[in-house]
Structure 1
Amino acid sequence: MTSFDWLSTRSSGPMDAGAVILHSPSHAFQAPGGGEVQLARTARHLEAVGVRVRPFNPWTDRLEEGRLLHLFGMSREGLELARVAGARAVPVVLSPICWFEPSALWGLAPSRVKGARDLGAWALRRAVPRLPGWRRELLGIADAVLPNSESEGEQLVRLFKLDRRKIRVVPNGVEPDVAEADPALFRQRVGAGGFVLYAGRIEPRKNVLGLVRGAKRGNLPLVVIGDPVPGCESYASRCKAEGGAGVTWVPRMDADDPALASAFRAARVFALPSWFETPGLAALEAALAGCAVVITPFGSTREYFGDRAFYARPGKVGEIAGALQTAWEAGRGGTELAELVRRRYLWATVARRTAEVYDEIAPTG
C-alpha cells in the first residue's frame, strides 16, 4: 500500500475523536509533489509513535472533534479552515513549506511587466512586513509554525513579522531503506551505464529545461522521472524536443515505488537545479542512496547539504553544465553526505519532533 493509499483509508469512515486533523489544499494531490509526500510520510510515522491522525474529510469531519488541526502548505483554503478552528478553540499547527525567492519571481514571470510587479510586491513586503495579507493572517492564527529549516523560519519573520516564539523547526525526511535498494531493477529499464537523474514534477519552477540544456551541453546522459503538472504540457514537450536522444523519459513513480529507490541507487548524479527548494525531498533520498548531488543554491539547500553538494543557479545553463560535469567526475559514494542524511533527516525523527510540538500545544490526558 502506498502512502497516498494509506491516507485514503484513514480519511474514510467516521472520524476518530481526538485525532490530529491533517489538511492540504484540495487540489494538491492532483499533481503530488514533495509537500504531499511530506504530509503522507509524516502521518504514517506519527501513527507509528502512537499519534492518531485523520486526513481531513470536508464532507464529514468536524474540527472541534479533533485534537488539533495541522495544515501542510500555505493556502487561502487553509486560512479559511484555520479561521474556523480558531473560532472553535482548536489549536492550529502550520507547516508552511514555502520560500519566496526574488530571482524566481523574475525568472518565471511570463512577461517583464509581471516580473517587475511581483518583484515590487516582494520588496514592499520586505520593507513593511506588518502589511496585512492572507499569509500574515494565517501565520498569526497558527499556534505553532513548523518550517523545514531555520532559514525558512527567518524568512517568514522578515517578510511577515512572524512571532519567533511560534517557530519549531522540523526538517524534511527520508526513508532509510532507499540506501539498500537494488539498482539492478532500474538498470533493466535504462541500461547499465551511468546517468544523471531528475525525479519530480515537470514544470518551470523545477527548471527541467535548464537541466536538459546543461546535460546536453556536457554530453551527459539524463534520465527524467516525472509527469508535467496540469497546464505545463507544452513546457514538457519543449523539454523533450530539446533533449532529443540524450534524455530518457520515464513516467512519474509513486514515492513508495521500489523502482524509484532503485533509480536513486543506479544514478551516478542526481540533479535538481530548481528556482528554489526547501530542500527537495528527492535530493535527500538521492544523497542517502549515494549519488553526487547537483542542486540549486536558492532556498534552504545549503542548510541541509552544506559543502557536500554541487550548486548551480537555475538561470545559468553554463553553471549547471559545469556542476554536472564536476559531480559526474566525483561520482557515487559520497558517504559523508549519506551519513549526514541518515543521522539528521529520517522520517522517524521528523515524526518524533512533530509529536513533541503537538504535546506542547495540545497536551493529552
Structure 2
Amino acid sequence: MKVLFLTYPRIGLNRGGLQIQIEETAKGLVQRGVEVIFYDPWRNQIPDVDICHVFSIDGSAISHVQRSLATGKPVIVSSVLNLFHLHPLLMRMKVLSSAFIPGMYSDLKRANLMLHAASRVIALNENERNLLSTVFSLPSERIATIPNGLKASFATADPLLFEEKYGVKDFVLNVASIEERKNQLTLICAMKRMPYPLVIIGNIRSEQEEYISRCRAQANKQVIFTGSLAHDDPILASAYRAAKLFVLPSFSEVMPLSLYEASIAGCRVIASKNVPVASPLQHLISVFDPHSPEGLASLITTEMEKPRSEELQSVALEMPSWQQVCEQIHDCYESALSGMNSREGHK
C-alpha cells in the first residue's frame, strides 16, 4: 500500500505538534509495511499512490482531494480542528453562509467540501468529533476517533540533565510556541509575584516579536526562556521530569502532546478550560479560565503545594502508543480502499 501525505505548504516554517503527529504517523505506518510518500508540489503524485491522507482542513489541499476522487483514490482527512475557542453554532452559521454567499468564509467552504469528500475523517478526541458533527454536519459513522500516540520514554528521562544546565528544579513548566493563542502572557502575569521559577520552552518566531516583547516585559527574574527544543532532545524530556507543575493556558488546542508528555513524566498538570482533555485524565487535571491571571495564580499556588502526581502518570501511561494508533489508521486505509473498490465494482 502506498499513501500520499499532504498538509498545508507552510508546515516546515514552524515546528509544532502537527509536524510531530505527521512524522510519528509515518514512522508507525512504515513499520506496518505501508510506503509513505510526502507531498512534492512539483509533481503529480496521485497516480503513484493508493490513498491520500490529508492532515488539517486547510483549503490548500482541495485540488488534491478533488483529483484523488476523480481518479478513484480514497481520501482520509485528519481534521485537527482547532476551533474550541469559538461557539459551535456560530461556526455552523458561517459554514451555511459560505455555501450561498460567494466569497464569504471561503476557507470554511473549502474545508466543508474536503470533509464531505473524505472516505473517513479522523478526529483526535470526542470533543473534536462532536465539533465536526455540529459545525460541518458530518455523519458520525464517517468519523473515526483516533488520538495521537504517546511515548512512555518521557517517564524515565533523567531530570538532572535539565537541572544541571539551568540550575532549577520543581518549577512550573510550559512547552509551546510563544504566540497569542498559546497565551503565555497570562501565565507570566499570574506568576509575577510568586516564588517559583517558570520555564517556557518554545519557538520564538520573528512574526511574534511584539507578543514576545510583551511577555519579556512582564516576566520577573525567575522566568527562563529556553527557546525551541527538538522533540527528541533529551533536555526536553528531562525538563518534564524536573518540573513539578505543567501549565497549558492556551485559548484553543486539539490534542496538545505536551500536556500528555508532562503527565507521563509525572508532573501535576493544569490546563485552560478550552483545552480538550482525554476522559481518563479529566478528574486528575484542574482547569481554569484562560482570561483570568488571578484564577490561574490561585490554582498554581494550590497545585505547587501538592506532590508530583503518580496517579496521573499511571493513567497517562495506559493511553495508546504510536504503534497502536497507527494500527487503527492502517485499518481506516484498508476500509476506505475496500469501500472504494466495492463502489467501482458496482458501476
Q: TM-score, normalised by structure 1?
A: 0.85
Residue 152 of structure 1 corresponds to: 128
Check the 8 A contact 2:89/2:134 in 1, yes or no: no
Q: CA deviation at 1:124?
A: 4.3
The superposition leaves residues 240-296 of structure 1 with CA deviations (integer Å, 9 ceiling, x where unpaired) of 121131201101011111111111111111111110222310110010010001111
Partner SS, residue 246 of structure 2: strand
Q: CA RMSD in A?
A: 2.0
Residue 188 of structure 2 corresponds to: 212
**Matches of 1:128 and 1:33, distance apart in 2:** 28
Does 1:142 find its partner at 2:118? yes
Check the 8 A contact 1:148/1:278 in 2, yes or no: yes
Partner SS, residue 202 of structure 1: coil
Q: 1:71 aligned to 54, 73, 98, which one?
A: 54
Task: In structure 2, give the amino acid aligned to 1:50.
Answer: G
Q: CA deviation at 1:127?
A: 4.8
Does 1:287 find its partner at 2:274? no
Q: TM-score, normalised by structure 2?
A: 0.89
Does 1:276 find its partner at 2:269? no
Q: 1:47 aligned to 9, 23, 30, which one?
A: 30
Partner SS, residue 41 of structure 2: coil
**Matches of 2:181 and 2:35, distance apart in 1:** 35
Does 1:23 find its partner at 2:6? yes
Check the 8 A contact 1:293/1:310 in 2, yes or no: yes
Residue 317 of structure 2 corresponds to: 342
Task: In structure 2, give the amino acid aligned to 1:68.
Answer: I
Check the 8 A contact 2:248/2:272 in 1, yes or no: yes
Q: 1:327 aligned to 285, 303, 319, which one?
A: 303
Partner SS, residue 53 of structure 2: strand
Does 1:362 find its partner at 2:337? yes
Check the 8 A contact 1:31/1:230 in 2, yes or no: no
Q: 1:85 aligned to 43, 68, 83, which one?
A: 68
In structure 2, runs of 5+ residues without a counterpart are: 100-108, 342-347
Q: 1:242 aligned to 188, 212, 218, which one?
A: 218
**Matches of 2:115 and 2:162, distance apart in 1:** 43
Task: In structure 2, give the amino acid aligned to 1:309.
Answer: I
Answer with 285-294 or 39-48: which moved more: 39-48
Q: CA deviation at 1:150?
A: 1.2
Residue 353 of structure 1 corresponds to: 328
Task: In structure 2, give the amino acid aligned to 1:126.
Answer: R
Task: In structure 1, give the amino acid aligned to 2:73.
Answer: V
Check the 8 A contact 1:129/1:158 in 2, yes or no: no
In structure 1, runs of 5+ residues without a counterpart are: 1-17, 106-118
Does 1:126 find its partner at 2:92? yes
The superposition leaves residues 200-233 of structure 1 with CA deviations (integer Å, 9 ceiling, x where unpaired) of 1000000010111112243321001112344111
Check the 8 A contact 1:129/1:161 in 2, yes or no: no
Q: 1:245 and 1:128, CA in 2 relative to 1: closer, same or farther beyond 3 A?
A: closer
Check the 8 A contact 2:150/2:319 in 1, yes or no: no
Residue 20 of structure 2 corresponds to: 37
The superposition leaves residues 90-142 of structure 1 with CA deviations (integer Å, 9 ceiling, x where unpaired) of 111111111323xx45xxxxxxxxxxxxx7xx644435865522221111111
Size of the aligned set, in residue pairs, is: 330
**Matches of 2:125 and 2:37, distance apart in 1:** 25
The superposition leaves residues 18-59 of structure 1 with CA deviations (integer Å, 9 ceiling, x where unpaired) of 421111211022112111111111111121222221111222
Residue 148 of structure 2 corresponds to: 172
Q: 1:350 and 1:217, CA in 2 relative to 1: closer, same or farther beyond 3 A?
A: farther
Partner SS, residue 249 of structure 1: strand
Does 1:198 find its partner at 2:174? yes
Q: CA deviation at 1:192?
A: 4.2
Q: CA deviation at 1:306?
A: 0.8
Answer with 212-221 or 198-207: which moved more: 212-221
Partner SS, residue 200 of structure 2: strand
Identical columns (%)? 29
Task: In structure 1, give the amino acid aligned to 2:266.
Answer: G
Does 1:267 find its partner at 2:243? yes
Residue 56 of structure 1 corresponds to: 39
**Matches of 2:307 and 2:213, distance apart in 1:** 30
Task: In structure 1, give the amino acid aligned to 2:92.
Answer: R
**Matches of 1:130 and 1:157, distance apart in 2:** 14
Task: In structure 1, give the amino acid aligned to 2:10.
Answer: H
